[in-house]
């Protein structure tokens, strides 16, 4: 499975890692929904660290698309929340 960390790059993870990734993703979402700013940043940082440490960087000339795209490392909680409500982070 290929995971992109926005503005950083693509990582290839083993399928075994999907469950853990999902859990971390849900934790980030939960703290974001309860407006727990510190909790959100901690959870999101954990998610990124998991991807970076478990994943292998995908080569630059690899044309495969990502299965999952994560927000950029410097995402704010408000931006992350906008992701759920539909505004989106990617500029038109």
Q: How many residues belong to the site for another protein (CB under 8 A)?
A: 35
**C-beta contacts of 32-39 below 8 A and 24+ residues apart:** 32/77, 32/80, 32/81, 32/84, 33/81, 33/84, 35/77, 37/77
Indicate the burial class of 90 (C-beta count within 10 angstroms; 0-12, 13-18, 19 or more). Answer: exposed
Within residues 5-64, the interface with another protein by CB under 8 A covers 6-9, 21-22, 25-26, 28-29, 32, 44, 60-64
Q: Which of 19, 72, 77, 78 binds another protein (CB under 8 A)?
A: 72
Min dist CB 84 to another protein, Å, is 6
Chain residues that interact with another protein, rule: CB under 8 A: 3-4, 6-9, 21-22, 25-26, 28-29, 32, 44, 60-72, 74, 80, 83-84, 88-91
């Amino acid at each position: 499975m290929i995971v992109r960390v926005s503005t950083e790059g693509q990582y290839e993870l083993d399928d075994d890692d999907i469950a853990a990734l999902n859990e971390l993703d849900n934790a980030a979402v939960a703290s974001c929904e309860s407006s727990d700013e510190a909790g959100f940043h901690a959870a999101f940082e954990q998610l990124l660290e998991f991807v970076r440490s478990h994943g292998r960087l995908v080569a630059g000339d690899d044309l495969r698309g990502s299965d999952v795209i994560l927000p950029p490392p410097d995402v704010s909680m408000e931006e992350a929340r906008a992701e759920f409500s539909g505004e989106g982070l990617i500029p038109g």
